[in-house]
């Protein structure tokens, strides 16, 4: 069976939509398995212009993942594969470990919970460290204890995208940049550059993955709600590695952290606030997209959840007010003043919300004979990418597995 399925795909033309880390790694995995000619269509002039090049660059160890979830498995395995890949390809990476800092007794309970979740997910080397040990690692930290995860690392995400893209090209994958998919009818993919015939379409369109899926009548119950995350560069704070706030486990991505990047700069962020457009990096209002986002039943139901609204309001304050952002930083480390922080980049997360208004926290992919849809390559998608791509490629080539 395995052999026949592989044979079915040999020489079939696979068209991948989106040259982010997910489209590129899935293409790479399929090329290694000699699945047939592969073309990647990307509307931008180069790869990794959206989420994959505009993130925190953290190689997560898997400490805040739900045990048993696909995301937990992919994150833990992806962490190992990605660190190996960066070492081999000489992509800039710092294997500095992750600290989740507790500032109150209540947050110490969150650390215990994270430790338990991490151990269930088989994250290696986790331990809770005392305030003294924390101070030895991060002298400016204000935590009273921390969870330390030695597998956490930071990577230069644009350099990683460049390495993956060059490797994919070397494997024979054809990139068509500046090519925006505008419609799909059976095997015919329409683009702004003409029509392309595909035996199998793989939708890896990130912030637009729902739009592409809906063109093929897939995933109609889901909507991507874009969340903008802003970063501040923090000068003179002496952070040596990565310090996270203890998260609210109901909404784990809504908390900020301090990260020393591979170039030595320290960034704080990201905030998380609904964006007025899927690519509205500069807080602009993209009127044509707004009804689809804000009048969707998914968004309306999400905002009927009072717990979510409370946290979203706090995050909006962080986004809108420099002093609110500063207070978040000052709650993690001492000695940072207003003059020490300057706005840095922004990224926008593709967060899938279902028709009941629930944020979907796990990876979601749907598989059909002629198409595959990566509908929720949610954070930490960069970390998980190599492991997830392997899983998706196997699933496409061996549908019965």
Binding residues (CB under 6 A) for ligand FAD: these are 17-23, 41-44, 49-52, 54-58, 60, 180-181, 204-208, 229, 270, 347-349, 377-383
Distance CA 150, CA 153 (A): 8
Question: Least distance from C-beta 268 to ligand FAD, angstroms?
Answer: 12
Question: Least distance from C-beta 293 to ligand FAD, angstroms?
Answer: 15
Q: Which is nearer to ligand FAD, 111 or 273 (CB)?
A: 273
CB-CB neighbours of 342 under 10 Å: 10
Residues 6+ positions from 105 with CB-CB distance below 8 Å? none
Report CA-CA distances (Å) from 47 to 277, 342, 354, 382.
Answer: 20, 27, 29, 14
Q: Which is nearer to ligand FAD, 56 or 149 (CB)?
A: 56
Distance CA 112, CA 309 (A): 27
Distance CA 380, CA 157 (A): 13
Distance CA 250, CA 66 (A): 11
Q: Which is nearer to ligand FAD, 108 or 258 (CB)?
A: 258
Q: Which is nearer to ligand FAD, 246 or 378 (CB)?
A: 378
Question: Least distance from C-beta 400 to ligand FAD, angstroms?
Answer: 26
Q: Which is nearer to ligand FAD, 58 or 102 (CB)?
A: 58
Q: At what angle do helices 381-397 and 2-9 cross, to 10 degrees?
A: 100
Question: Least distance from C-beta 251 to ligand FAD, angstroms?
Answer: 15
Q: How many residues does the chain have?
A: 401
Question: Least distance from C-beta 303 to ligand FAD, angstroms?
Answer: 20
Q: What is the DSSP string of 183-222?
A: EEETTEEEETTEEEE-SEEEE--GGGHHHHHHHTT--TT-
Question: Least distance from C-beta 258 to ligand FAD, angstroms?
Answer: 13
Question: Least distance from C-beta 104 to ligand FAD, angstroms?
Answer: 25
Strand partners for 274: 227
Question: Least distance from C-beta 221 to ligand FAD, angstroms?
Answer: 19
Q: Which is nearer to ligand FAD, 45 or 264 (CB)?
A: 45
Distance CA 121, CA 63 (A): 8
Q: Which is nearer to ligand FAD, 158 or 380 (CB)?
A: 380
Q: Which is nearer to ligand FAD, 230 or 314 (CB)?
A: 230
Whether 353 and 299 have beta carbons less than 8 Å apart is answered as: yes
Distance CA 325, CA 269 (A): 8
Q: In angstroms, how far is CA 253 from the centroid of its own chain?
A: 10
């Amino acid at each position: 069976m395995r052999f026949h399925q592989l044979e079915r795909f040999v020489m079939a033309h696979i068209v991948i939509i989106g040259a982010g880390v997910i489209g590129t790694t899935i293409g790479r995995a399929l090329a290694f398995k000699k699945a047939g000619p592969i073309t990647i269509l990307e509307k931008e002039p180069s790869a990794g212009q959206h989420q994959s090049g505009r993130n925190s660059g953290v190689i997560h160890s898997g400490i805040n993942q739900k045990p048993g979830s696909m995301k937990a498995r992919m994150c833990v395995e992806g962490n190992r594969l990605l660190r190996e890949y960066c070492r081999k390809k000489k992509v800039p990476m710092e294997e500095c470990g992750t600290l989740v800092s507790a500032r109150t007794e209540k947050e110490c309970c969150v650390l215990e919970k994270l430790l338990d979740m991490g151990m269930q997910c088989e994250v290696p080397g986790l331990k809770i460290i005392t305030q003294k040990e924390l101070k030895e690692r991060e002298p400016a930290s204000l935590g009273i204890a921390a969870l330390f995860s030695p597998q956490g690392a930071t990577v230069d995400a644009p350099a990683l995208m460049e390495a993956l893209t060059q490797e994919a090209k070397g494997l024979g994958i054809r990139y068509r940049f500046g090519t925006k998919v505008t419609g799909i009818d059976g095997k015919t993919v329409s683009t702004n550059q003409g029509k392309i015939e595909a035996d199998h379409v793989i939708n890896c369109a990130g912030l637009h993955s729902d739009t592409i899926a809906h063109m093929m009548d897939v995933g109609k119950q889901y909507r991507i709600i874009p969340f903008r995350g802003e970063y501040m560069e923090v000068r003179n704070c002496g952070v040596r590695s990565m310090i996270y706030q203890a998260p609210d486990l109901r909404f784990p991505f809504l908390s900020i952290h301090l990260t020393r990047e591979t170039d030595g700069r320290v960034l704080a962020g990201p905030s998380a606030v609904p964006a007025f457009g899927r690519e509205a990096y500069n807080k602009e209002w993209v009127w044509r997209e707004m009804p689809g986002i804000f009048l969707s039943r998914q968004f309306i139901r999400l905002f009927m959840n009072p717990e979510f609204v409370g946290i979203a309001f706090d995050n909006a304050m962080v986004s809108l007010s420099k002093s609110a952002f500063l207070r978040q930083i000052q709650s993690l480390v001492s000695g940072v003043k207003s003059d020490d922080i300057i706005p840095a980049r922004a990224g926008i997360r593709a967060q899938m919300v279902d028709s009941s208004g629930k944020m979907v926290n796990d990876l979601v992919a749907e598989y059909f004979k002629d198409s595959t849809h990566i509908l929720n390559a949610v954070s930490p998608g960069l970390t998980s990418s190599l492991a997830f791509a392997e899983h998706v490629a196997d699933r496409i080539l061996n549908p019965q597995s």
